[in-house]
Amino acid sequence: MQIAPHGGRLVNRILQGEALEKAKQKATGLPRIKVDSYTGFDIDNIGKGIFSPLTGFMNREETRQVIDTMHLREGLPWTIPILLAASQEDADSLDLGAEVALEDEQGDVAAILHLSEKFSLDRTELVEKVYGTADEAHPGVAYTLSQGPVYLAGELDVLKARAIEFQDHNLTPEETRAAFAERGWKRVVAFQTRNPIHRAHEYLTKCALEMCDGLLIHPLMGTTKSDDIPGDVRMKCYQVLLDNYYPPEHVMLSLMPVNMRYAGPKEAIMHAIVRKNYGCTHFIVGRDHAGVGDYYGTYDAHYIFDEFDPQEIGIEPLFFDHAFYSKKTKMMASKKTCPGTAEDHVFLSGTKVREMLRNGELPPEEFTRPEVAKVLMEWAQKANK
ω into 53 cis (within 30 of 0): yes
Backbone angles phi, psi at 70, to 5 degrees: 60, 30
Catalytic residue (one of 12, 187, 195, 287): 195
For the chain, what is the radius of gyration of the CA atoms? 21
384 among known catalytic residues: no
Q: What's the CA gap between 357 and 320, in Å, rounded?
A: 28
Q: What's the CA gap between 35 and 43, in Å, rounded?
A: 10
Q: What's the CA gap between 308 and 75, in Å, rounded?
A: 9
Catalytic residue (one of 194, 199, 261, 275): 194
177 among known catalytic residues: no
Pairing type for strands 99-103 and 188-193 reads: unpaired
**Measured between alpha carbons, how far is residue 284 from residues 34, 63, 193, 223, 311 in Å?**
36, 27, 10, 22, 17
**Measured between alpha carbons, how far is residue 172 from residues 39, 50, 210, 218 in Å?**
18, 8, 26, 12
DSSP single-letter state for residue 256: B
- Sign of the C-alpha dihedral, residues 270, 274, 280, 286? negative
Q: Active-site residue numbers?
A: 194-195
